Structure 1
Amino acid sequence: MVQDNGDGQILVFTYDYEAGEDFEVISQLETSTTVRILQTADGEAVPEISQPDEYVGHVVRYQVDGGPVSPTTLMFIRGGTISSGDSATLGEEATMFSPTLNLLSTDVS
């Protein structure tokens, strides 16, 4: 379960967003990996993310029924915590957060 510190933020890539789907946290990314992903290909910061090291990246797997393998994707959290093995549900609504990085902002429950 995600523990929100009040100003938490959940980011997912637009092409991986599955509204209302349950997911399980598989592992946490190293900080250096998260920082590289949250920058442009040239290593530049985007206006929406001034401090990419404030985010914690995670590998998550959707718990979708009916498929041989559930989709795996990345999720970035700022102002909250979640641990490997935790499960939660992605929010039903999302807003565009960073068009440059193709990231949406949503919530989890």
Structure 2
Amino acid sequence: MVQDDPGQILVFTYDYEAGEDFEVLSQLETSTTVQILQTAEEETVPEISQPDEYVGHVVRYQVDGGPVSPTTLVFIRNGSISTGETGTLGEEATMFSPTLNLLSTDVE
């Protein structure tokens, strides 16, 4: 389970699975996170003026019934989450950045 309050969790709209459990596989390099949280023209969006304040993580959903559970990325601005920890995405999410197609949700 996630140890500290991770603050705001961002996930791409097409990867969001409400209420799904996940396990953290690894942390992204800061430079990779910054690239992902910018436009294709390497510009910041109004919602994320400092992409280097976010930490990106590769997570795997713990979905039953499939041969391989899907992996995705999540981004956290405050708090901490470590490799090997598990959590559950919130049941509700709000649009955070339409330009980057990111939702904001909580994690348990």
TM range (shorter): over 0.9
Between the two proteins, the alignment pairs up a number of residues equal to: 107
Specify every segment of 5 or more residues in structure 2 that has no aligned partner in the other structure, as ranges: none
| Counterpart position of 1:4 | 5
Please identify runs of 4+ aligned residues in structure 1 that moved more than 3 A: none
* Preserved contact between residue 2 and residue 88 of structure 1 (Cα < 8 Å): no
User: Which letter does structure 2 place at the counterpart of 1:3?
Assistant: D
Matches within 5 A, 1:9-48: 9-48=8-47
Does the aligned pair in 2 maintain the 1:27–1:84 contact within 8 Å?
yes
Alpha-carbon distance in 2 for matches of 1:56, 1:2: 16
Corresponding residue for 2:65? 66
* Superposition TM-score, scaled by structure 1 size: 0.96
Give the TM-score normalised by structure 2: 0.97
- Please, what is the CA RMSD of the aligned residues? 0.9
Following superposition, the deviation at residue 2 of structure 1 comes to 4.5
- Structure 2 match to 1:95: 94
What code does the residue aligned with 1:43 have?
A: E
Q: Structure 1: which 5+ residue stretches go unaligned?
A: none
Aligned positions of 1:45-56 closer than 5 A:
45-56=44-55
Letter in 2 for 1:52: P
Amino acid at match of 2:45: V
How far off is 1:95 after superposition? 0.1
Aligned equivalents of 1:97 and 1:23: distance in 2? 21
Residue identity in the other structure for 1:12? V
Change (3 A) 1:2 1:45: farther
Identical residues among aligned pairs (%): 84
Equivalent position amino acid for 1:4 in 2:
D
